[in-house]
């Protein structure tokens, strides 16, 4: 019977070493010759030896199938991660299982210098990671990988060219050339061996390094090294895709934040607070609060249709233009929005937007008829507002004796009519009352019909505890948490959320 040729079996890589639990079959010894020169075979030698060899091959195939199944399950779990942090943690857990380690860490440091640079640990707290980082970079396994191993340090792949760049320290306590600080940190944290591999892609270069730590002196066998190499080869491609996504989101978030006020202004007699939540693609909701001549104040919120970089750019242009128009003719909100309508039709003909602009007159300008009874002249002066809105939700006044929406005129959004102009409305806000301006994303994220969402907002504002009503920051926080409980304000919703509060003393 001829010996089966393993190399001809489909899907099997003959370079893969045998599974650890499989022993290599014993080589067949030649049978002694009889006097006639023919092999003297017995039934046992003819039947048992081929059967034993076939069983060994089947055992080896079973080991390969088991390994492939394990890799399939691990890569599927990794593919289900949709954030960089989750993917790093999954890679650490899977790699630890493949090489038989108890703890580990990943140092992410892309060679292109664009970040993100981060360190995450498995079974290691922030203090432990900080302690490991005190090891001189050139002596740490991850540092040697990130800085590029010298050619003499690279193990030979058998063909004369160095390809495998893992760094193994099988016995840190007794390694003679180990840096003293490395030995000291290992003793303090209680690990006795380490195994590090690079995280690199063919197109993007080196992304970082993964290090797994053992409690006892040991090192992974060849088969474990092969399996973790196959897994990290796939994992780094997945990490590279998530990294590009994280970079794009960070860039969009930075751009969006730069286009919005870096801080709210300080205006005498007024305290301001805001909450701004954006969807994963970045939307066009915006807000503004700007001091105007003679002690006046302008408050604005708006929303541009669409999402992504184009909507963010359009939002920035619209907000910047409104600021310019408000400085020139802020006391006439209708004129401000009319100018904004003309600009939108000329520069963004395929886009529409909603906007609301409220002009708050200087302190002490409220008429006597608007004053709240029961207060002396020095304490009862409120603030008068002139407001114009283009398709935007009405503001909400929250006070000790009332919680009500401001009655505004009906108007289409900007960009939907050949000429926009709607009458303005006037109202007043008494001392110790808060004016809430918001975007419609706050209503849409509730998932309820619009009338119920309005009722829910009214109830949330009316339910602000009296103990925190003097703090506009606490007011917006309470309203946001009541409207969107269980972290819904940070959910991956396409809707942006803006909530701006102005508390008048």
User: Which three-class secondary structure state does DSSP give residue 389?
Assistant: strand
* Amino acid 100: pLDDT: 94
CB atoms inside a 10 Å sphere around CB 4: 13
**Average pLDDT over every residue of 52-61:** 78
Q: What is the pLDDT of residue 22?
A: 40
Residue 342, domain extent: 260-504
Calculate ∠ Cα 14-18-19, nearest 5°.
135
- For residues 17 and 222, is the Cβ–Cβ distance under 8 A? yes
Q: Are residues 325 and 344 in the same domain?
A: yes
Judgement on whether residues 328 and 238 belong to the same structural domain of the protein: no
**275 within a domain of the structure (yes/no):** yes
- Token readout for 366 is 């409220």
pLDDT at 480: 93
Distance of CA 330 to the CA centre of its chain: 39
**Residue 414 and residue 439 in one domain:** yes
- Give the pLDDT of residue 423: 86
CATH of the domain at 86: 3.30.450.40
Query: Which three-class secondary structure string do you get for 138-189?
Result: CCCHHHHHHHCCCHHHCCECCCCCECCCCEEECCCCCCCCCCHHHHHHHHHH
Nearest Cα neighbor of 213 from 167, 175, 176 is 167
pLDDT value, residue 457: 96
Do 205 and 240 share a structural domain? Answer: yes
Eight-class DSSP state of 424:
-
Q: Is the pLDDT of residue 101 over 60?
A: yes
Same domain, 222 and 352: no
Angle at 383 between CA 380 and CA 388, to 5 degrees: 155
pLDDT > 70: what percent of the chain?
Answer: 80
Q: Which two tokens stand for residue 356?
A: 């609301």
pLDDT in the model for residue 403: 94
Strands (E), 34-137: 103-108, 118-122
User: Which of 227, 252, 277 is the last residue in one of the domains?
Assistant: 252
Q: Is residue 279 part of a domain?
A: yes
Reply yes or no on whether the pLDDT at 342 is more than 70.
yes
H or E element at residue 435: strand 433-438
d(Cα 464, Cα 436) in Å, to the nearest integer? 13
| 1 part of a folded domain | no
CA 27 from chain center: how many Å? 57
Q: Are residues 243 and 224 in the same domain?
A: yes
Query: Residue 47 domain-assigned?
Result: no
Reported as a single tens digit per residue, the pLDDT across 147-172 is: 886 543 434 334 333 345 789 999 99
pLDDT at residue 197 is higher than 70: yes
Domain count across the chain: 2
Question: Same domain, yes or no, for 336 and 481?
Answer: yes
Same domain? For 295 and 439 the reply is: yes
Where residue 385 sits, what CATH number does that domain have? 3.60.40.10
* Nearest partner of 352 among 411, 394, 410, judged by Cα: 411
Asked whether residue 284 falls in the same domain as residue 188, the answer is no
What is the predicted pLDDT for the residue at 280?
Answer: 64
Q: Which pLDDT belongs to residue 241?
A: 93
pTM above 0.85, yes or no: no
Considering the domain architecture, whether residues 240 and 338 belong to the same structural domain is answered as no
């Amino acid at each position: 019977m001829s010996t089966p040729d393993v190399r001809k079996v489909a899907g099997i890589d003959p370079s893969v070493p045998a599974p650890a639990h499989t022993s290599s079959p014993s080589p067949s010894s030649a049978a002694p010759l009889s006097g006639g020169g023919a092999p003297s075979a017995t039934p046992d030698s003819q039947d048992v030896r081929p059967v034993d060899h076939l069983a060994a091959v089947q055992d080896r195939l079973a080991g390969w199938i088991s390994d492939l199944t394990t890799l399939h399950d691990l890569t599927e779990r990794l593919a289900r991660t949709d954030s960089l942090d989750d993917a790093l943690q999954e890679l650490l857990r899977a790699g630890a299982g493949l090489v038989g380690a108890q703890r580990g860490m990943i140092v992410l440091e892309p060679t292109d210098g664009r970040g993100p640079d981060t360190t995450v640990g498995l079974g290691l707290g922030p203090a432990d990671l900080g302690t490991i980082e005190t090891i001189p970079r050139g002596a740490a396994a991850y540092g040697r990988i990130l800085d590029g191993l010298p050619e003499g340090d690279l193990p030979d792949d058998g063909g004369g060219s160095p390809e495998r760049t893992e760094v193994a320290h099988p016995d840190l306590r007794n390694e003679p050339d180990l840096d003293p600080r490395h030995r000291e940190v290992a003793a303090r944290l209680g690990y006795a061996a380490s195994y590090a591999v690079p995280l690199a892609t063919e197109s993007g270069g080196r992304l970082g390094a993964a290090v797994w730590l053992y409690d006892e002196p040991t090192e992974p066998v060849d088969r474990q090294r092969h399996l973790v190499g196959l897994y990290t080869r796939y994992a780094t491609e997945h990490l590279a895709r998530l990294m590009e996504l994280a970079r794009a989101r960070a860039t969009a978030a930075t751009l969006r934040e730069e286009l919005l006020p870096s801080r709210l202004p300080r205006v005498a007699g007024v305290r301001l607070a805001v909450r701004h939540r954006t969807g994963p693609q970045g939307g066009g909701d915006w807000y503004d609060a700007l001091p105007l001549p003679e002690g006046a104040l302008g408050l604005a919120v708006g929303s541009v249709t669409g999402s992504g970089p184009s909507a963010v750019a359009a939002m920035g242009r619209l907000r910047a233009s409104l600021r310019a128009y408000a400085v020139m003719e802020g006391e006439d909100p209708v004129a401000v929005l009319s100018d904004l309508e003309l600009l939108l039709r000329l520069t963004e003909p395929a886009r529409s937007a909603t906007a609301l602009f409220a002009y708050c007159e200087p302190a002490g300008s409220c008429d006597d008829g608007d004053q709240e009874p029961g207060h002396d002249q020095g304490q009862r002066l409120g603030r008068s507002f002139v407001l114009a809105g283009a398709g935007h939700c009405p503001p909400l006044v929250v006070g000790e004796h009332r919680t009500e929406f401001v009655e505004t005129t009906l108007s289409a959004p900007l960009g939907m009519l050949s000429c926009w102009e709607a009458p303005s409305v006037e109202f007043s806000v008494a001392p110790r009352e808060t004016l809430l301006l918001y975007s419609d994303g706050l209503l849409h994220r509730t998932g309820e019909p619009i009338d119920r969402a309005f009722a829910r907002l009214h109830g949330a504002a009316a339910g602000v505890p009296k103990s925190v009503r003097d703090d506009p920051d606490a007011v917006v926080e309470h309203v946001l948490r009541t409207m969107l409980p269980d972290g819904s304000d940070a959910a991956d919703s396409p809707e942006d959320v803006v909530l701006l509060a102005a508390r008048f003393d």
